[in-house]
Amino acid sequence: NAGVMQNPRHLVRRRGQEARLRCSPMKGHSHVYWYRQLPEEGLKFMVYLQKENIIDESGMPKERFSAEFPKEGPSILRIQQVVRGDSAAYFCAISELSPRGAPNTGELFFGEGSRLTVL
């Protein structure tokens, strides 16, 4: 997991506040995935980003959630007006290039996750 740094590791917010989660892939990786793991549930895909571009956001809730990956700096997952149901672990991952060179068909490596608790 050393190739993907996430912070904060733990975040506590009150209902209605904003949560910002950051993901810094190791140098040379320009594609990141965000996944959410609700308590006692499996990992669900949220969004797949390339620098300055959202490739697939089919798993993102329609409201309050947004993600970006600017040219400089980490990828940010932003949750506005948090509710208790947003309490979960949020994981960022990078994908190695496959033997065919496609950026999203290789091995997936995860960060340690950011655990959001909404009071």
Partner 1 sequence: KQEVTQIPAALSVPEGENLVLNCSFTDSAIYNLQWFRQDPGKGLTSLLLIQSSQREQTSGRLNASLDKSSGRSTLYIAASQPGDSATYLCAVNSYGQNFVFGPGTRLSVLP
Q: Which two tokens stand for residue 48?
A: 């797949």
104 is a site residue for partner 1 (CB under 8 A): yes
Kindly tell me which of 48 and 69 has the beta carbon lying closer to partner 1: 48
Out of 12, 38, 108, 119, the residue judged to bind partner 1 by CB under 8 A? 108
The β-bridge relationship of strands 4-7 and 53-56 is unpaired
Nearer to partner 1, 17 or 22 (CB): 22
Q: Residue 14 CB, nearest distance to partner 1 (Å)?
A: 23
Closest listed residue to residue 118, CA positions, set 35, 16, 21: 16
CA pair distance 37, 46, nearest whole angstrom: 10
User: CB 23 → partner 1: shortest distance, Å?
Assistant: 12
Interaction of residue 53 with partner 1, rule CB under 8 A: no
| Binds partner 1 by CB under 8 A, chosen from 23, 32, 60, 91 | 91
Cβ atoms 44, 111 nearer than 8 A: no
